[in-house]
Copies of this chain bind each other. A is one copy, B any other.
Amino acid sequence: MKSNADLLQGTLDLLVLHILSGGQQHGWGVAQALKDRSQDRLIVTQGSLYPALHRLEREGWIKSEWGLSDNNRRAKFYRLSPAGKRQLELETDRWRRYTAGVDLVLSGAPG
């Protein structure tokens, strides 16, 4: 049974950046936000989420800081950097262009 693993590829960065564009959030919270807002369509596992966050930070698109979560637990909070804001715009465009392309193919006469 095929999951969404392959579809997620190339979209996760965009999604995470978008979530963080509204304010700081810790990793677990990002995953929850994605699940909730997509109405359970987008489920991101820890094995994807944390490496993704580290990758984004390595690229300089997000910055992290330790703090306390609402539940009073130690958590690492991430926020968007100026470069991350630009990257978010880039990736949003890329996504829109790409889906437009797929839609053109899928809606066009087959054959």
Interface residues of A (CB under 8 A from B): 2, 4-11, 14-15, 18-19, 21-23, 25, 33-34, 37-39, 41-42, 92, 94-95, 97-102, 104-106, 108-111
Kindly report how many copies of this chain are found in the complex they form together. Answer: 2
B101 x A39 contact (CB < 8 A) = yes
B11 x A41 contact (CB < 8 A) = no
Q: 23 A-B contacts, Cβ less than 8 Å apart?
A: A2-B94, A4-B98, A6-B10, A9-B9, A14-B106, A15-B102, A15-B106, A18-B106, A21-B110, A21-B111, A22-B111, A33-B105, A34-B105, A37-B104, A37-B105, A38-B102, A41-B97, A41-B100, A41-B104, A42-B98, A92-B106, A95-B102, A95-B106
Interface centre among A7, A8, A33, A95 (most CB of B within 10 A): A7
A1 CB to closest chain B CB, in angstroms? 10
A81 CB to closest chain B CB, in angstroms? 16
